[in-house]
Structure formats: C-alpha cells, structure tokens
Structure 1
C-alpha cells in the first residue's frame, strides 16, 4: 500500500458511519439498502482514484475490460457489507442466511483446547465471523484492531456492542505487548482474528504472485504464527447478495513452532500459499474485493523483505493497523 493512498482524505469519517448506523437502526435494513444506490453513484462520480483502482483490479480478476457498471457493482457490494456491519456487530445475526464451510476443522482445534489464528482479508466481510457465536458460544473471538487509527469505527463498535468492543486487542500497543496479548488469548483457547492481505508503507513484506503479477503481503502475521506455534485457519466471509453470505474456513497451518533458521523459507512458502488461496476466492467472488487502491504497486525501499529484529517488534502493530477498512468508507 502506497503512502499516497494512505493519505487520501476521509470522505465523511465519523459522520458517515453515524449516518449509516442511524439509517440502519431506525429505518431498517430494507430502507437503508435502497439508499445504497445513490451512495454508490456518489462514490462512483466523486472518487476517481478508487474508481480507477477498482477498474484495474476487475480487469485482472474478470480477465476482460471492466465496464463502469462493473465498477458500480463493486462499490455497491462494498457498501452493502458496510451496512450489514451495523447489524452483525449489534448481534442481529438471524437477519442473515450464512452458509458455513469447514466448521469441522475449526471445531477440532477448539475441542482439543487449542486457540487458533483466523487469518482473513479485505475480501468480503470479516464481521460475518460473528455468527460463530451461535455455533460456539463457549469460545471468544478476539480481533486485532488499531483503535486509535480509526476512532470513528471504535466509537461505532462501542455504541453497538460494548461486549464485543471489550474483546478487541488494540494494535496501537507496542509490538511485544500485542504479541503477548495474542499469546494469552491463544493459550486461553480463544480465536484471534487478523486481516493479513495489506502491507503498509515501510512494513516488512514479501512478494507473491497474485492475479497475474507479484503483490506485497505482510510478513508479521506469519512470523507471529511461527513464533507462537499457533494453528492458522484462513477465513473468508463472502457476500452473495441480499442477506446471504458464505463463511469459509480452510485449515492452513497446524501450528508448528518454526526454528529461527527455517523461518525465512517457511514464511515464503506460507505467504505464497495464502496468495494462491486468496486468488482462488477472489475469482469465485470478484466483486467482494475491497482494496480500493493499486494493490500491485510496491516500493523498492527495502521494506518488502524478511523482517529485521526491529521490524519483528514493530510488525504486529502494523499488521493490526490493517484491520479496519480503508478506501470508500473511511475515505468517502
């Protein structure tokens, strides 16, 4: 992710989130969904860089020239998942028809008393993970989130569900504190969720093939998994239209502790394997991709390499900072 994109101005911030929350709560989901059309049109017209990034990505994933209608559908899909966030975070889970795949693999770890790392992405809705509270009310989902980086979303979470807000692991802490918090959650048998597809400026990352060209993926989450020896499951909450989602879990790593000398090759293999699975699901649900910037742009400043000891400490904070959705909601 380029520094220039991170500096894109917010287009509403707290007010935009408050507005969509209010419409959803008081007007109902049906009324709010009607309003998504003018919202989509506004962003389609006003947000040129995001519109161009959308068209570039869609051309890759659809393997054809993307039309303006494709871009509008892409924006509308994102807006729909943001609206649904209001209901998912407020515990109104029964509004949604969620098909779950791979739940047996997750149950196997949890029944053995093992905590797990759930590695997600900005593909689909990560909040749909909340339906796990119906399947495993005995297990807590802890999300790594930089509260200070997105205060509007933090306020929304506090207002909608203070109980969920209390389970957030704040990525604004120093690196060792974050790793310790994750380790304590894993040791307690919890699920710890992170988004692992965005590498920020200066963050240690590795390049892997993705949709026809190499893209940068952050190293820190995989380093945490290797150091803690925690099992990793990939999680994809794919929006299928209306009130339908597919929540897919894929076992990815069984949680072996990797000796320091072997971490470089092992992390490279894991990141490349993750990019392959991410590409698979992106092709299956192309309009669910919510990285509205040039995902394949990467610097040559040395950040896209194995992490140094200093980056090992700072890395988890950078990884957590990618949890909140940038792009059209924060910046539009």
Structure 2
C-alpha cells in the first residue's frame, strides 16, 4: 500500500531522497519547486498504478470526469508536500505560510491533563503536526508509527532531524502500549494515522465516498481503553507555499462502561471516516493514498 513514488529498490530510493534533500537545502525552495514539474511528469508517465488510483479517486470527488491535468495536479500536490517536509523538519517553516484553525481547542483538551490522541491521515501533510510539536513549547508530541511500512519517512527523519526521529514510538514493540500510556499520563499528545489497514490488522468497514472501505480499529481501541480525547488533524496543502492546518475534536474521551466499549469504538471509527470524507471532498488533490482504497 505504498503511496511513495520512491517505492523502487531501496538503493534508488535512498539516492533520490538524498538528491531532493540536497537540492532543497542548497539551491532553495524556488529551484526545487521548478524541478518538481519534470519529476512529476516522469512519475505520472511511468507509474500506471498511481495514475489509475488517482483517476479512480478523483472520479468520486469531482463533479466531472477527471482529465490528465487533474491526475498531474494530484501527483504534483503530493510532490510539493514531500518537498516541503525538508523545510518543515529543518526549522525553516518560516518559508511557508501556515494558517492554523482549532488550535485553542486542542490546548483546552490538553489542559485537562489526560493527554490526547491526535489522529491524522494520508490527506495532506502530517509533518506540519511534527513541527508544531517541535517548536511550540505548549505541545509535547510523540508519534506512533509502523516503522517498517514507512521506511522513506524514517530515513527522511533521520537525515533531516534526529530529534524528531527520537519522538517516534514504533508500533508492534513489547513496550509500545506502555510508552503510549506513559506519554498520555504526562499530558502529552500521541499522533498517529487512522486511514490505512496494514496486513491483518483488525478493521471496520465504513461507508466512504459511496462505498465501504476498511479502517483500522487500533487507534479507537487505544483511545477508548485509555479514556483520552481524540482530535483529528489535517495539514492541507493549499498551493504555492500555503498550508491550512485544522484541529477538530472527534471525542472528548470515552466515559462509558466496559460493556459499551465495542459499540463506542465502532461509532468512533465510522465517525472518523465521515470526517475524513468531508475533508477529502474539500481538498481532493491532497489525497495521498495512491492505491485502490476500497479493495478488501
């Protein structure tokens, strides 16, 4: 289920990642953005799988059949977000115009002292959240991540900002749950993604853009078990150097009985899907799941 155009052999992946980082660091964002056009063109032409996935998704959200310009724009939006990770993770976020909405609500939830789960997706830039955690003293952030399924992001973190890399809590380790609980008990935020089912992970199928799609149950199981707030997060790329960051409260925290947990988990998973659908319709070119999202 890789969304990355770099899903080639590991050696070429690392090479091109280092090339992009070098260009961004030494030649500047303007030059790097100029190079995105031929790079995007190459991947659109040479990647029929992502091209088909883009067209199929855009068919669901646009009021017209998508053309090749729409598919190119979709891929170029993804390339732009990848490029801007370099600036977001190296303390040069001042090059970007980032508008934040709902941040006060997030701080109010944190003020309760229970911590919070910040649930993102592959819609827009999750790295915008990492920057808020690194540079806002009020926001202490850990990121729960399946490292083996996000090797490109892991390499980028290690290359650009080892401090951010150290904030990652790997999924599937013996102490994963304990580390998450410790962070939340300290009033910290734990960020994670909630829109992809990996391998044989337990899932729930919810209606999404007119057809049932599978969503992982793990994030909501964790939130309900620990009775912490869940805040949805989106870092929407709005073109040029502009980003719109949204924080939206999904639930202030489960307060029911043990018998009510399963029902609450199912309701939260499908509520998440409904919120994600609304944002996908609002910013369709920010959708970075370049595969058949509705397959079993």
TM-score by length of 1: 0.83
Partner of 1:178: 176
Q: CA deviation at 1:154?
A: 2.2
**Which whole-Å CA distance do the structure 1 matches of 2:124 and 2:27 have between them?**
24
Displacement of 1:9 after TM fit? Answer: 5.1
For the 8 Å contact 2:3–2:289, the answer to whether it is kept is: no
How far is 1:202 from its partner?
A: 1.7
Change (3 A) 1:114 1:264: closer
Residues 152-163 of structure 1: matches in 2 within 5 Å? 152-163=152-163
Residue 275 (1) aligns with residue 262 (2): no
Deviation at 1:167, TM superposition (A): 1.1
Task: Report if the CA contact (8 A) 2:183-2:189 is conserved.
Answer: yes
Instruction: After TM superposition, give the deviation of residue 159 of structure 1 in Å.
Output: 2.4
Matched, 1:215 2:213: yes
1:150–1:249 Cα change, 3 Å: closer
Q: Does 1:68 align with 2:68?
A: yes
User: Would you say how many aligned residue pairs link Structure 1 and Structure 2?
Assistant: 293
Q: Tell me which residue corresponds to 2:290.
A: 292
CA distance in 1, matches of 2:210, 2:265: 21
- For residues 135 and 163 of structure 2, the distance between their equivalents in structure 1, rounded to whole angstroms, comes to 18
Is the 1:142–1:191 Cα contact (8 Å) retained in structure 2? yes
Instruction: Give per-residue Cα distances to partners, 1:58-104, cap 9 Å, x unaligned.
Output: 00011321111100000000000000001101111211111111111
Q: Which deviates more, 94-103 or 140-149?
A: 140-149
The aligned residue for residue 39 of structure 1 is: 39
Cα offsets for 1:203-256 (capped at 9, x unmatched)? 110011111111110011110111111110000110000110010000111112
Where do 1:87-236 residues align within 5 Å? 87-133=87-133, 136-174=136-174, 177-236=175-234
Q: Is the 8 A contact 2:134 2:164 kept in 1?
A: no
**Greater mean deviation of Cα atoms: 191-200 or 148-157:** 148-157
Q: Following the alignment from structure 2 to structure 1, what is the Cα–Cα distance between the partners of residues 157 and 135?
A: 22
- Match of 1:241, SS? coil
Question: Conserved in 2, the CA contact under 8 Å of 1:228 and 1:257?
Answer: no
**SS in structure 2 of the partner of residue 261 of structure 1:** helix
Residue 51 of structure 1 aligns to a residue whose secondary structure is: helix
Measure, in 2, the Cα distance between the counterparts of 1:280 and 1:186: 28
Residue 153 of structure 1 deviates from its aligned partner by 3.0
What TM-score does the superposition give when structure 2 sets the normalisation length? 0.93
Given the alignment of the two structures, is residue 20 of structure 1 paired with residue 24 of structure 2, yes or no? no
CA distance 1:251–1:97, change in 2 (3 Å): same
Cα contact 1:139–1:189 (8 A) shared by 2: no
Cα distance in structure 2, aligned partners of 1:184 and 1:61: 40
Residues 260 and 15 of structure 1, relative CA distance in 2, 3 Å threshold: farther
Higher relative contact order (CA 8 A, sep 6+): 1
Native 8 Å contact 2:123 2:236 kept in 1: yes
